[in-house]
Structure formats: structure tokens, C-alpha cells
A and B are shown apart, each in its own frame.
Chain A
């Protein structure tokens, strides 16, 4: 004998999610398809368990976690660069993995996957971005900027600047200055 089935996927998914989350004793609301809101933030353990249990049904927790983590990496990079003391005391990868409580290898792979670029590259980009702001403000010498951003020498800063932007710090400064003059005369 054969019987014929028709599925309503929305109901199936909703029921599976409800069963699993109820079994874990979570307090939640399901919003439409694919979004669950929790009354309180699930702990890392709970998140892991949900990932495993729902994973059995082919339900994947989307990469919001990934996006959030990438953001935290970026914030930590910025904090690290702007602090004059931190870089002298810790090595960056140790600081980052201690602070975010993940291994550096894990963070690196999540970061590269989400941004198409490495954490190391982002550190350089961010440092040069801050150097550009300083150069544009015009009140620090390149030597002072190099010191502030923990470069071993001006030469090192200049080389990294050139490599990242294709311009030397002085031609960058000249362009920004002329741009400002021009927008002033226009207004």
C-alpha cells in the first residue's frame, strides 16, 4: 500500500524549533519564518546546544553571530591601536583572543570569510586610516604620528602608508589640503 503525503514546510520547521527550544527550557517567540527572539540572551553554551540540536534537522543558525563577532574584532583592533600602552604590553593576537574568548585561529577564519580580508590587513588599514586623520589635521609631525601608532620608525610608517594607499604621506597631505582649499572657495 502506498500513501501520498503533502508537506507544509513552515509548520514542520516551526514545530521542530518549538520542540527543541521547549526541551531546552528557553523563553522565546517565533517571528515569522526564520527568526526567533529570546527573552534573555542565550549563554554561549545554550547557543552551542541549539546549534547542535537544530543542526540535526538541517536548520542552521545564521551568521549574525559571525557578523557580531567580526564587529567585535574590529572594535578591539581600534581600541588596541588607539591605546598607547596596550601594544607595548601584549602581543595583539593574544590580547584579541583573551578578550573575545575565542582562539585566534577561529577568529581569523571567521573574519576572512566575512570580510574577504585578514585581521592583520585590517589592523594595517585601521592604523593607516588613523594616520591619515592625523596627517590631515596637520598638527603632528610624521615622527610623532609614527610614535603614537607604535611604528618602529618613520620609514616603516611611510612604507606602509605607501603600500596601502599608493601615495606617499606628503602627496596625500598635499591633496587633502588642496581639496579643503577648493571646497572653501566654492562655498
Chain B
């Protein structure tokens, strides 16, 4: 399957974090199209629009007002047309229990928000490279777990 651009969605209530993410992704050589959302509610509304082009990967901040990352993850995994989306949790929490819980609930990727721009870029680059492979190769998506 030829793939030319990765569509990416990010839901994060922190404006600085959204901007940093955007800057990092702009510097990565994989071609991407990024859509930004201020919280989970906005993201889920967007994903349920009729005829929407679904992203290949969704990055979710865990702690957001109105609808948090875990609630979005639940909804995505329980909605037939969204079930197959790759979901990356993007959070400051590094508690083992939190991490395990998100994976068990169906997250594919868990990223501890890195504390430097360089580390963030590196993490996103790794995630996107892997995604590219998962979208273009016969790899088993049910087993796609990655922790950074």
C-alpha cells in the first residue's frame, strides 16, 4: 500500500505542549499532516464527523479537562470505525500502573513527555518511523506496543 503522508492528530490542553509537538514534527523528514485539538471532546467530535479522513495515529494527553485521554481511548476502542486507529498516549505520568493500564485498555504507544526538545523530536521520529512500517508492512497491529 503506497503511503505518502501520515495524518496525525494530537489532543493536548496545554498550548505550549501543542506548539512544541508541532515544531518537533515539522523538523522530522517523514511527511505529515498534523491536526491539533484542545481536549478530548474536540478530538472525538472531529473523528465522528461524516466523511472525515481518519488520522493514522492519534496522540492523546492523559490529563485533559472535559474528556481525558483514557476516556478517548475507551471510546476509540469501542467504536467500530475507530477501533483500528493507532493510539499513542503522551503523558507526564511515569507510574508503572498508569502505563500498564493504558496498554491493557488498548493503547499502542506510551510516551513519557520528554523534558527536552531534542528528546521529544527523537521520540516522535521513532514513533512515526514505526508507524510508517506498520501501515505499509504485514506486521501484526494487535501486538503493536511501544514504550518510550
Contact = CB atoms under 8 A, between A and B. Distances in A.
Interface residues of B, number: 23
A123 to B, nearest CB: 12
A172 B146 CA distance: 10
Contacts of A136: 143
Interface string B103-116: 11010001000000
A14 B70 CA distance: 55
A129 B140 contact: yes
Contacts of B139: 125-126, 129
Contact of A116 (B30, B104, B146, B148): B30
A117 interface: yes
Contacts of A121: 129
A132 B129 CA distance: 19
A93 to B, nearest CB: 19
Contact of B145 (A122, A125, A167): A167
B103 A116 contact: no
B147 A166 contact: yes
A171 B104 CA distance: 11
Contacts of A115: 132-133, 136
Contacts of B29: 116
Given A129-B139, A133-B140, A136-B143, A116 B106 contact: no
Contacts of A129: 139-140, 143
A136 B140 CA distance: 11
Contacts of A117: 129, 132-133
A67 interface: yes
Given A78-B138, A117-B132, A125-B130, A182 B104 contact: yes
B100 A175 contact: yes
A171 B101 CA distance: 12
Tell me the dominant secondary structure on chain A's binding face: helix
Nearest to B107: A175
Contacts of A116: 29-30, 128-129, 132
B82 to A, nearest CB: 16
Nearest to A174: B100
A115 B139 CA distance: 14
A115 B131 CA distance: 10
B83 to A, nearest CB: 11
A133 B143 contact: yes
Contacts of A29: none
A125 B106 contact: no
Interface of A: 67, 70, 74, 78, 115-117, 121-122, 125-126, 129, 132-133, 136, 165-167, 171-172, 174-176, 178-179, 182
Interface of B: 2, 29-30, 100, 103-104, 106, 110, 128-130, 132-133, 136-140, 143, 145-148
22 contacts: A67-B2, A115-B132, A115-B133, A116-B129, A116-B132, A117-B129, A126-B139, A132-B140, A165-B146, A166-B110, A166-B146, A166-B147, A167-B146, A172-B145, A174-B100, A175-B103, A175-B104, A175-B145, A178-B100, A179-B103, A179-B104, A182-B104
